[in-house]
Amino acid sequence: MCKVIAIANQKGGVGKTTTAANLGIGLAKAGKKVILIDADAQGSLTASLGYEEPDEMEYTLATVLGKIINEETIDPQEGILHHEEGVDLMPSNIELSGLEVSIVNVMSRETVLKEYLSMIEQEYDYVLIDCTPSLGMVTINALAAADSVLIPVQAAYLPAKGLEQLIKTVRKVKRQINPKLEIEGILLTMVDGRTNYAKEIMQLLEEGYGSQIRFFKNIIPLSVRASEISAIGVSIYEHDPKGKVAEAYTSLTKEVLAG
């Protein structure tokens, strides 16, 4: 059975893309077949896996979704890239923002991505969707297609505050579109364990949501080495295999596998 996990937060800069790439590669290292779906028009996941010019790519997620909207025939394998660290990738680029506008007028507009995933998911154990930092139509599509949502949150006041809106959206999608949608858990990222501020935010979040939502035991520490990886196109396991961030993502992978 394939599990589809959307990695979402409408706030940017919280470690969403880093989590998608490193959790995906972590699962692949554990012997799972994984595809990463870049559902962000900025193409950050595509670029961070070493594909440097996403906007020059001819075949991306926007191409596939466009074909589904126009009821054209699709080769489900077309456009999927095979990354050297063992994961597959459906890339994205700026064309997705144009598609976001046109998708609004489409019949069954919330389930276009789900239709695509239904063509490929039998090939994989995990599909990870890196969502755009907004609650627009493409993110709603990701939530409609997912079994669960993993929410990375930076241990700082504003990102923590924005969590409320996202959780409301997730619950609304669960009620109206996708009754099987669950929250996989909240993942604290970029945690500077030396400061009382980070500890206070973590405590606030746990008091506010801990009774209803799982918090991953593993937190992702703040690290200069981790911030370098998106620029060089490899995972933390390649760049700094013995570092604390690689260790944290290995532990997170185990938590996700344990369910």
Write out pLDDT tens, residues 100-115.
Answer: 888 878 888 999 999 9
CATH of 3-258, one of 3.20.20.80, 3.40.50.300, 3.30.460.20, 3.30.70.260: 3.40.50.300
Report phi then psi at 10, rounded to 5. -75, -5
pTM: 0.94
- The pLDDT of residue 10 is 85
User: Tokens for 249?
Assistant: 């993502």
pLDDT (average), residues 63-86: 94
pLDDT (average), residues 189-193: 84
Question: Does 9 or 199 have the greater pLDDT score?
Answer: 9
Question: Does 233 or 28 have the greater pLDDT score?
Answer: 28
User: What are the residue ranges spanned by the domains of the chain?
Assistant: 3-258
* 156 has pLDDT over 80: no
Q: Which helix (H) or strand (E) holds 93?
A: none
Alpha-carbon distance 247 to 221, whole Å? 10
- Cβ contact 33:123 at 8 Å: yes
pLDDT (average), residues 47-66: 92
DSSP string, 145-186: H-SEEEEEEESSHHHHHHHHHHHHHHHHHHHHT-TT-EEEEE
pLDDT in tens, 223-257: 887 777 777 888 999 998 999 999 999 999 999 99
Q: pLDDT-based confidence at 43, cuts 50/70/90?
A: very high
- The pLDDT of residue 159 is 67
* 217 has pLDDT over 80: yes
pLDDT (average), residues 135-148: 95
Share of the chain above pLDDT 70, in %: 99
Q: Is 229 exposed, middle or buried (0-12, 13-18, 19+ CB in 10 A)?
A: buried
